[in-house]
Structure 1
Amino acid sequence: MSEENENKPNLDVPEHLEYSDEHVWVDASTEPAMVGITEYAADQLGELVYIDLPEVGTEVQAGDEVAELESSKAVTPLVTPVAGVIRYVNSEAADDPGIVTGDPYGEGWIFKIELEDDEPGLLSSEEYANIVAE
């Protein structure tokens, strides 16, 4: 194995999801769409200690800060890559923020949103994997 490959993160990037360059994933195959942070973001944040979730019913635009993730390292805003109306929030993640970092693509979703735009400008899994590998 070359040194170059050893320095690249070996992260899970599920192919069925779409991604933002802000390390947020969207699963538009569900109704409403699910949104969460990527494994890369979870690794960068470290252990989450608090999540400030958005209000159900809030209408958001792509690029809006909708939640706040507080870890032992920093407080980081969650920027939504899609527009729509927030229909559900993951209250289990608010009660136990560790599930977000422990299972970012499963039980650790942040919110579900009724998409306003059917064609959000998101990255494929391959495009996102290339960004985090740099």
Structure 2
Amino acid sequence: MSAVARAARPFASRVLSQRLPLSTCVGGVSCFPRGSIRSFSRSSLWQVKKYTESHEWIELAEDGKTAKIGITEYAAKSLGDVVFVELPTADLEVAAGEPVGAVESVKSASDVLSPVAGKVIEGNAVLDDRAKTINESPEDQGWIAKIEVADASELDGLLDAQAYKESLGEE
């Protein structure tokens, strides 16, 4: 196949990790469209997300010292439309299993328990004005607190995503 024919193939059929030698491309210009090669930085795949049987999640950040806490998608669906979120204050010291906030919905209210011990860095201020963010994105934008984890090894005793799904009877 000629260099021109290779360069003319649809982009989707090319292998991303391979580049044609510059000498085979017209005018010495790269054969891939501008912006088509993406360099990957560390992403949430490098973060550790764990779950509790009481339907909270915790996601340890790359630094291994801070984490976000929230309620699971299952909990958000069970609660129904969230109307108010009680956020923790900064510098609040919490032990594993202690309330770090509360969520009120049209159906009920529920404490949000900290999966691990630590010190609250901040509450998610977005939830003050827009509590329904928890319904829309419970395991991402709807986090409730960011904490400084006292002992990251406490996460070892929590459930991974598969074990949590199994505890709900889902596969």
TM-score (norm 1): 0.84
**Greater relative contact order structure (CA < 8 Å, 6+ sep):** 1
2:50 maps to which residue?
18
2:102 is paired with a residue whose SS is strand
1:122 maps to which residue?
158
In the alignment, the residues of structure 1 paired with residue 69 and residue 141 of structure 2 have an alpha-carbon distance, to the nearest angstrom, of 11
2:133 maps to which residue?
99
Contact 2:81 2:132 in 1 (8 A): yes
1:8 maps to which residue?
none
1:66 maps to which residue?
100
Letter in 2 for 1:22: S
Letter in 1 for 2:73: E
Contact 2:100 2:145 in 1 (8 A): no
Q: Deviations over 1:42-77 (max 9, x none)?
A: 000000000111111101000101211100000111
* Equivalent residue for 1:81, pick from 108, 115, 123: 115
Computed over aligned residues only, the root mean square deviation of the Cα atoms, in angstroms, reads 1.7
2:18 maps to which residue?
none
Contact 2:123 2:145 in 1 (8 A): yes
In the alignment, the residues of structure 1 paired with residue 48 and residue 93 of structure 2 have an alpha-carbon distance, to the nearest angstrom, of 25
1:133 is paired with a residue whose SS is coil
Deviation at 1:94, TM superposition (A): 2.0
1:108 is paired with a residue whose SS is coil
Gaps of 5+ in 2: 1-44
1:42 is paired with a residue whose SS is helix
In the alignment, the residues of structure 2 paired with residue 46 and residue 94 of structure 1 have an alpha-carbon distance, to the nearest angstrom, of 18
In the alignment, the residues of structure 1 paired with residue 60 and residue 48 of structure 2 have an alpha-carbon distance, to the nearest angstrom, of 9
Deviation at 1:92, TM superposition (A): 0.5
Contact 2:123 2:144 in 1 (8 A): yes
Deviation at 1:87, TM superposition (A): 0.3
Deviation at 1:16, TM superposition (A): 4.7
Q: How many residues align?
A: 121
Distance 1:116 1:91, change over 3 A: same
TM-score (norm 2): 0.67
> Percent same amino acid at aligned positions?
36
